[in-house]
Amino acid sequence: MKTDSCQAPHTSIVISGRMKVRMDDGTEFKGGPGDTAVIPPGHDAWVVGDEPCVSLDFTGMGDYAKETRVNG
């Protein structure tokens, strides 16, 4: 199912670089090296600056980008 935002939850720590997250309700926050975050479904995120953002994601990726079959 195509969505405008990521519907997977994430529990992560930023290793290097910086990122910004915007929730569907408009709430925004930034993360940098050493920052941890629990990000619920309904968000978008992107790199801030020229350095790639590297993070370790401990949850949420098991079902990421899997095909969804709708019966009917």
Query: What confidence tens digit (pLDDT) does each residue in 39-53 have?
Result: 999 999 999 999 999
Which string of DSSP letters, residue by residue, matches 41-66? SSEEEEE-SSSPPEEEE-SS-TTTT-
Query: In the block, which residue shows the tokens 């994430």?
Result: 10
Average per-residue pLDDT for the chain? 88
Whether residue 3 lies inside any domain: the answer is: no
Do 6 and 37 touch, CB atoms closer than 8 A?
no
26: pLDDT strictly greater than 90? yes
Structural domain contains residue 47: yes
Q: Structural domain tally of the chain?
A: 1
Q: Is residue 4 part of a domain?
A: no
The domain in which residue 46 lies consists of 10-57
Give residue 15's identity as a one-letter amino acid code.
I
